[in-house]
Each structure stands twice: as structure tokens, then as C-alpha cells.
Amino acid sequence: MFQHTTPLRFGDCDPSGIAYYPSYLRLLDGAIEEFFAALGAPRRPMIEDLRMGTPTVSLNLTFKRPGFHGDLLQFAIKVAGIGRTSLDLDHTVSARGDDLFTASHRLVATSLDTHSSCPWPDHLRAALTHHLETDHAHDPAT
């Protein structure tokens, strides 16, 4: 499991100081960017050198508790499944000892030249496999 912590800033909240849900998506994307960087695939070289993107094809969020301005958000990312071109991630975001939201998320490796799916590069597949949580089922055909 990969973990990343970031503060919930004033600009991430509505006027009452409660996290604005679109901000959560931006912060979640930042945590995923940190995850890929930790795997040896920072976003800029992935885009410029590998000519590869990782767009979201599905994202299911469940909000449990509000986040507040000043909270330290703790993002936990688990690799739930790896397909030929897809990657399933489970996210848990917490603060103050409480889970704020969870998400199940599917990304797909795509060629930035053809705009179609492509297999994960071997080095990235190996790094992702190292983080695979074995208690989840995944359809390896995708």
C-alpha cells in the first residue's frame, strides 16, 4: 500500500470550511501522480518519453465524513488488480483518525500517439505487481 499526506487548504473548501468534493478529485490525482513517481514513472517522463497516459475510465467514490480546512489528508492507495492495459486501485482517504471517503478506480494505459489502450511497459508492470493486494479479484482480460 502506498501512502501520501497532503493538507486540505483554504482553496479546497467551501465558505464553511468543509472540503469541496471537486477538490478531492484534484488531490486524489496528485496522490496518484506521487504513486507513479514512487514506482519510477513520474508523470512528465511518462508523457514525454514513454508517450503514455493513464486516463480514468471509472471512479466510484463513497463519502463518509466531511474534511475540514487544515486537515492533513492521508491517502492510502492499494493496487487491487492489473490487467493487460488496465489498473484497478482502491483508495482510502482519512484525517483525524476517520475515513473521509473511499474510492474504487480504474485507469487504463494509453498511447498518446494513437489514443488507444496499450499494454503496461514491463518495468511499470513489475512495479505495480509488487504492490498488488491479492485479496481482490480482477478480470485479467482488460
For domain 2-130, the CATH superfamily is Hotdog Thioesterase (3.10.129.10)
pLDDT at position 2 over 60: yes
Q: Among 75-79, 88-92, 104-108, 129-133, which stretch is predicted with the lowest mean pLDDT?
A: 129-133
CA dist 72 and 110 (Å) reads 33
Active site residue: 14, 29, 49, 98, which one?
Answer: 14
What is the model's pTM? 0.89
Task: State residue 109's pLDDT score.
Answer: 97
pLDDT at position 137 over 70: no
Higher pLDDT, 139 or 104: 104
Catalytic annotation on 14? yes
Is residue 129 classed as helix, strand or coil in its secondary structure?
helix
For the stretch 34-84, pLDDT in tens is 999 999 999 999 999 999 999 999 999 999 999 999 999 999 999 999 999
Q: Among 8-22, 31-45, 124-138, which stretch is predicted with the lowest mean pLDDT?
A: 124-138
For the stretch 93-121, pLDDT in tens is 999 999 999 999 999 999 999 999 999 99
CA dist 101 and 108 (Å) reads 23
- Which residue's entry shows cell 489502450? 117
Q: What angle (nearest 5°) sits at the alpha carbon of residue 66, between those of residues 65 and 68?
A: 140
Q: Which amino acid is at 127?
A: A
